[in-house]
């Protein structure tokens, strides 16, 4: 369901595509929205590629502080577009980004130099279904300080004056990762613009060129099987375009030979009689024979 309340009867297919050859490095079929999938998808791609670090480009539908923090914890550098902010009640120059955060003192400094402090209490925001969307601390100034400020007319809303509350700023637990991501996107516009050309390539081929607009089967596991075949075919077609058919066949044969040679070298099957265990199944007792072997 999107933000307008429109619903699609569908699964959410995720994929990670490399920027050099447009090959699908990893994919998954999900039943939740994009906003909760950045960390999972990026980490799976890192594992599939055997990479120590990774740069990930994603659109604003994936922007979520907790997911950005997961990526940072796994040495994944994110370039995720930030959603548009609503500034209807804040004058330019008095918005959150105009307040400087001092990490050493753990305070926000407002445009006129006053410090917003926190009592350390952790607050939570919940979604429609009661799930925790974010956890944050509130930094605030006393109303007496704000009331006498020369910028009160621009910084405080009418409701703040009615309730006699000073200006406050909310800082989520993942604010550092969110801010670092925002600055990377702002300072690397050309890099981020490459996103569409990379990740849309497989979907454009599979859906537009091959007509794979819908799946033939139902159920998450079966749909995942269909997309496994679709992306396997896509990767093979890309490999043929990049290497040529004859070179691809040679490489596959060479890889297959190495695999089977390694397999036969490490398999050491113990020919001694395997022990017999007896497992109780209801009133009867069934013998279970366990084969012994060692494989890499």
Residue 236 covered by a domain: no
Query: For position 6, what pLDDT does the model report?
Result: 73
**Is the overall model pTM greater than 0.85, yes or no?**
no
Q: Comparing 13-22, 79-88, 110-119, 224-233, which segment has the lowest mean pLDDT?
A: 79-88
* Same domain flag for 112 and 152: yes
* Same domain flag for 197 and 59: yes
193-211 pLDDT, tens digit each? 888 889 888 988 999 999 9
Residue 294 covered by a domain: no
Residue 62 covered by a domain: yes
Residue 125 covered by a domain: yes
Query: For position 5, what pLDDT does the model report?
Result: 66
* Same domain flag for 124 and 72: no
* Same domain flag for 35 and 152: no
Residue 191 covered by a domain: yes
* Same domain flag for 189 and 77: yes
* Same domain flag for 169 and 52: no
Query: For position 63, what pLDDT does the model report?
Result: 92
Residue 228 covered by a domain: no
Range of the domain at 22: 12-81+183-219
C-beta atoms surrounding 171 within 10 Å: 20
* Same domain flag for 205 and 154: no
62-95 pLDDT, tens digit each? 999 999 999 999 999 999 998 876 655 677 788 8
Query: For position 263, what pLDDT does the model report?
Result: 74
* pLDDT exceeds cutoff 50 at 277: no
Query: For position 131, what pLDDT does the model report?
Result: 72
* Same domain flag for 113 and 168: yes
- Please state the domain count of the chain: 2
* Same domain flag for 105 and 73: no
Query: For position 295, what pLDDT does the model report?
Result: 42
């Amino acid at each position: 369901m999107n933000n307008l309340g429109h619903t699609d009867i569908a699964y959410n297919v995720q994929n990670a595509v490399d920027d050099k050859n447009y090959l699908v490095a990893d994919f998954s079929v999900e039943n939740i929205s994009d906003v909760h999938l950045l960390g999972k998808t990026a980490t799976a791609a890192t594992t599939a590629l055997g990479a120590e670090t990774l740069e990930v480009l994603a659109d604003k539908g994936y922007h979520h502080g907790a997911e950005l923090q997961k990526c940072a914890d796994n040495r994944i550098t994110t370039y995720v577009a930030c959603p548009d902010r609503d500034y209807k009640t804040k004058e330019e120059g008095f918005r959150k980004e105009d307040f400087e955060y001092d990490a050493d003192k753990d305070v926000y400094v407002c445009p006129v130099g006053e410090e917003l402090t926190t009592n350390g209490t952790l607050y939570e925001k919940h979604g429609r279904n009661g799930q925790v969307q974010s956890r944050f601390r509130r930094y605030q100034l006393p109303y007496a300080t704000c009331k006498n400020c020369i910028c009160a007319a621009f910084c405080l809303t009418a409701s703040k004056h009615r309730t006699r509350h000073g200006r406050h700023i909310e800082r989520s637990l993942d604010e550092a990762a969110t801010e670092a991501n925002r600055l990377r996107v702002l300072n690397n516009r050309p890099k981020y613009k490459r996103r569409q050309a990379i990740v849309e390539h497989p979907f454009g081929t599979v859906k537009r060129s091959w007509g794979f607009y819908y799946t033939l089967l139902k159920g998450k596991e079966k749909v995942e099987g269909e997309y496994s075949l679709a992306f396997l075919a896509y990767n093979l077609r890309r490999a043929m375009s990049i290497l040529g058919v004859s070179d691809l066949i040679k490489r596959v044969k060479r890889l297959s030979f190495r695999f089977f040679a390694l397999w036969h070298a490490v398999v050491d099957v113990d020919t001694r009689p395997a022990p017999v265990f007896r497992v109780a199944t209801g009133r009867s007792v069934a013998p279970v024979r366990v084969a012994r072997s060692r494989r890499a």
